[in-house]
Chains A and B, each alone.
Chain A
Amino acid sequence: MTLAIEARGLRRTFGRVVAVDGIDLAVPRGSVYGFLGPNGAGKTTTIRLLLGLLRAQAGEIRLLGAPLSRDRGLFARIGALVERPAFYPGLSARDNLRVFAAVGGRRGPAAEARIAAVLDLVGLGAVAGRSVRGFSTGMRQRLGIGLALLSGPELLVLDEPTAGLDPVGVVEVRQLVGQLATEGVTIFLSSHDLSEVEQVCDRLAVIHRGRILAEGPAAVLVRDSGRAVVRFAEAAECTRARAVLEAAGWDVASDTDSTTLVVGPGSAASGTDASEADPRRVARDLARAELYPVELRLERPSLEQVFLDLVADGERGRGA
C-alpha cells in the first residue's frame, strides 16, 4: 500500500500545552481519509505540521512518498484549505487566485484557464471579478476550496471544508470530494462533523487531546464497537447469565433494566471479529449453561456514538 501521508511520532507543544502527542498517520493513496476530533483536539495543529507551517519538535513526515521539505515541486502536488480561508481583501476572487498561482510559478494562458475552471467548479465564476471583501462566509469557503484545487493536486488537505456553507453548499462539497476521489485524488479531510465524515470517508482516525484514539476503515470502527444485548424473562436468570458470560471471558455490563445485559467482546472474542461481541457465540455460551434469553440482538452504535465513546474513554484514560 503506497501512502500519500506518512507521519511517525509527531509531537508539538506550545508552552506546557501538548497539542500533538506522538501521532502516527498512514493515509493510503487514493483514499478519502477522515480526521475526526472535537474542537481543540489537535486537528489543525497536525495539519499545520504536515504542511510545514509549524515545526514538529519530534517525528517524521513523508508526503506523496517524499520527506517533507520546502520544495515547491512537492507542494505543487498538494492543495490545502487550512482553517478559515484567507485572502487579500482588496483583490477580486480571480486576482486572489492569480496572485497565488504566480507565487506557485504559474502564469500565462494555462494558468488563466485553470483559474477560470476552478472558479466555475466552486460556483464563483459569475462573481470572479468582485472584491473578496464583500464575499459571504460561504463564498469565501468556496474560494478557499478553489484555491486548494488550483494546482490540480494529487493530495488535498481540507480542514473543515463545509464550515460556513449552507446545506446546498455542504452537499456540493461532498459531491466534489466524491468526484475528486474517483479521479484518484487523495483527500485528507479534517472535521468534527461526524455525518460529513461518515458519508465521504472510507478510512478515518479519531484524535483527542493530541493523541490518536482509533484508526481504521470507518465501517470497521463502527463494527468494532458492536455489543450484544441479551434480555431474560427473569432477573435471576440474568444474574446467572452474567456470571457464565464473565467466566467465558466476555465483557459484561448490566443495563438499567435488571433483566438485560450488554455484552462486549472482552477476551472471549477471537478471530476476525475479535472486537465485536458475536451474538452466535454469546448464544452458544449461554446454551451450554442452559440459559435461554427472550431476546438477543447485535447493537452497533452510530459513528457519532463511537466517537463520543472514544472521546469519553480518552478523558477517563487521562483522568486515571
Chain B
Amino acid sequence: MTSLLVAEWLRFRRRYDLWIVLGGVVLLTAFAYISSATSAAQPVVFAPIDPTAPPEIRAMIEAQNAQIALEMARLRDRYVFPLSIVTTLELGSWLFLATAFVAASWIATEFDWRTIRNVLLFEPNRDRVLAARLVALATVASGGIVVLLGLGALLPFAVPVTGSGEPLPVTAVGVAATAGVTWLWAVAFGALATVAALVTRSPLLAVVLSAGYTVLEQLVANLDVWKRLGLDLVPQFFLVSRLNALRVDVQQAFPLGQPYAPLTAEGPHLDPILGLGVLGLWIAGLVLLARTVFVRADIHE
C-alpha cells in the first residue's frame, strides 16, 4: 500500500490543475475572511443625539447605542482567535466541492488518458488500487482542513480585529466537531464523485452526474408527498439532507454563541448519533458501489 500511495503522490504533485482548485479554496477563504473582517472592523458611527431632547430620552438612546455597539463587537468576535478558526472552517466549507472535483478529475483522467490499463498491469488487484486512491482523496480532504485551521489561526494576526472582550463561546471539542463536519462533507462528496467518475469515465460527466444527483436529491427531499404520507423522516436519510442535518447537530451540540445564530432543524430530526451512523452507511455504501463498479469494469482504454 505504501508504494501505491507513493505512486499517487508522484502523479498528484504534477497535477497543477488540481492544485489550482485546492489553492482556490484557500485563497477565496482567505479573501472572504479578510474582506469581511476588514468590513466588520469599521467603527460604528451613531448619529449625534439631539441636545434639546429630554434627558431620559437621551439616556435611552445612549443605552440603545451602547447595546448596538456591544452586539457589533460580539459579531467581530468571530474574527478573534480562536473563534476565527471556526470562521475559516465555515467560510471554507465549500472544500467539499473542490474535493469532489479532485476525485472526479483524478479518477476519470486515468480512463481518459488510458493510463488505468498500465496501472492494472502493474497492480492487478483493483481493491488495492481503489483503496490507495480513496486514502489519497481522504488525505487531500484532511490537508484542506488543516490548511483552513491554519488560516483561522494566522489570519487574526494579519487582520487584527477588536472583539467584545467577553469570553469566546468556543471549545476545542467544538472546533474539532466543526472541522469533522467539514471533513465529512468533503469525504462524502469525494466518494460520490468517485462513483460518478468510475461510471462515466469522464471528468466532466462525473462532475455533472454528482451535481445532478445533489439537485435531484434536494428536489425529492422537498416533495410534499413525504408529509402527506406521514413519512417526514425519510428525507432525513438522504445523503445531502443528512450532511446538512449534521451541521445543525454540531452547532446545537456546541453552541458558538452570538456570532453564529444557531441553525435550527425544520421538521422531524434524527437523533445525532443515529444520523452520524446513517452518514457512515452512506459513505461506506458509496465506497462499496465504487468498488463493485471498478472490480467488474472492463478496461477498453
Residues of A within 8 A of B (CB): 48, 51-55, 69-72, 74-75, 78, 80, 82, 84, 86-91, 95, 98-107, 147, 151
Contact = CB atoms under 8 A, between A and B. Distances in A.
Given A87-B113, A88-B113, A89-B113, A102 B124 contact: no
A90 B14 contact: yes
A13 to B, nearest CB: 12
B118 A100 contact: yes
Interface string B55-88: 0000000000000000000000000000000000
Given A53-B299, A103-B123, A82 B117 contact: yes
Interface of B: 3-4, 6-7, 10-11, 14-16, 113-115, 117-126, 129, 296, 298-301
Given A86-B115, A90-B14, A104 B299 contact: no
Contacts of B125: 70-72
B14 A70 contact: no
Contacts of A89: 113
A88 B124 contact: no
A95 B124 CA distance: 21
A102 B12 CA distance: 14
Contacts of A52: 120, 124
Tell me the dominant secondary structure on chain B's binding face. helix
Contact of A102 (B4, B115, B118): B4
A104 B122 contact: yes
A107 B3 contact: yes
Nearest to B121: A80
B124 A106 contact: no
Contacts of B129: 103
A102 B299 contact: no
30 contacts: A52-B120, A53-B121, A53-B298, A53-B299, A70-B125, A70-B126, A72-B124, A72-B125, A75-B122, A75-B124, A82-B117, A86-B118, A86-B301, A87-B118, A88-B113, A88-B115, A90-B15, A90-B16, A91-B10, A95-B14, A98-B10, A99-B11, A100-B7, A102-B6, A102-B7, A103-B3, A103-B129, A104-B3, A104-B122, A107-B3
Contact of A70 (B3, B119, B124): B124
